[in-house]
């Protein structure tokens, strides 16, 4: 039996009022891709609703604390928060980081313990252009190529998407490597390939930000093709 878990680590750019003074010089950044992943939460909600899946998400900005990085990663705190005292950074982790990570870990652990195979879809989006380079993809599917279940699921999902829309550019392990530091990478260390498959789906932000009709269509397509893919793998 397969259980689907949907997460969204960068669903919003909210900053709790007590931390607003830290962001006086960074307010404009909060509205950019550095502050959150536009569209990621909308897709996560669509997927969870369509499959009746557990949804775990955060609407606190990644610039407060980065939920998709290991706790000692150099990017877990941003330029706005890295100057906090060790005690304040610990407090941030205890209030925002550890509750989120622990809840996701518990969902996976409980499913595996009950004999279920869990497919974890982590919803993200990427800026169309970064450091002067245009990202040439509509959708990216990130996974660990060494894990057979993830590899086969992403290949099948890519084929299903391209079969529905031949103009859609779907790339695997683009614009990032699926083996980079992240929540799915952490969970892979805890659970074998046979029990856990962690996929990060990345959507080009030009859809939620500039193409509302295309964005609705793309979300429906992702839901539809994932249903077909899960039925085949």
> Phi-psi region for residue 28, left (φ > 0), alpha (ψ -120 to 50) or beta?
alpha
Find the angle CA(201)-CA(23)-CA(101) to the nearest 5 degrees: 40
- Domain residue ranges in the chain: 2-232
Q: What is the pLDDT of residue 231?
A: 87
Q: What is the pLDDT of residue 211?
A: 86
φ, ψ for residue 128, nearest 5 deg: -60, -25
3-state secondary structure of 85: coil
Which residue in 188, 190, 173, 186 sits closest to 76, CA to CA?
Answer: 186
Q: What is the pLDDT of residue 79?
A: 95
Report the distance separating Cα 121 and Cα 109, nearest Å.
Answer: 16
Architecture of domain 2-232: 3-Layer(aba) Sandwich (3.40)
Answer whether 12's CB lies under 8 Å from 41's CB.
yes
Q: Per-residue confidence of the chain (233 residues) as pLDDT tens digits? A: 899 999 999 999 999 999 999 999 999 999 999 999 999 999 999 999 999 999 999 999 999 999 999 999 999 999 999 999 999 999 999 999 999 999 999 999 999 999 999 999 999 999 999 999 999 999 999 999 999 999 999 999 999 999 999 999 999 999 999 999 999 999 999 999 999 999 999 999 999 999 889 999 999 999 999 999 998 76
């Amino acid at each position: 039996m397969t259980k689907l878990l949907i997460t969204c680590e960068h669903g919003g750019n909210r900053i709790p009022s007590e931390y607003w003074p830290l962001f006086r010089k960074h307010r404009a950044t909060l509205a950019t891709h550095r502050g959150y992943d536009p569209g990621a939460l909308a897709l996560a909600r669509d997927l969870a609703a369509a499959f009746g899946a557990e949804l775990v998400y955060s609407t606190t900005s990644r610039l407060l604390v980065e939920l998709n990085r290991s706790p000692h990663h150099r990017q877990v705190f941003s330029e706005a928060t890295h100057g906090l005292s060790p005690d304040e950074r610990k407090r941030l982790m205890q209030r925002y980081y550890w509750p989120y990570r622990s809840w996701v870990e518990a969902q996976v652990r409980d499913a595996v313990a009950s004999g279920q195979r869990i497919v974890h879809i982590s919803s993200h989006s990427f800026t169309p252009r970064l450091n002067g380079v245009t990202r040439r993809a509509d959708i990216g599917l990130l996974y660990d190529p060494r894990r057979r279940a993830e590899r086969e699921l992403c290949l099948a999902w890519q084929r299903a998407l391209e079969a529905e829309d031949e103009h859609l550019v779907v790339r695997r392990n683009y614009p990032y490597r699926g083996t980079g530091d992240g929540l799915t990478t952490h969970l892979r260390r805890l659970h074998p390939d046979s029990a856990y498959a962690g996929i990060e789906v990345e959507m080009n932000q030009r859809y939620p930000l500039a193409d509302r009709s295309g964005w609705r269509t793309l979300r429906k397509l992702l839901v539809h093709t994932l249903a077909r893919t899960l039925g085949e793998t």
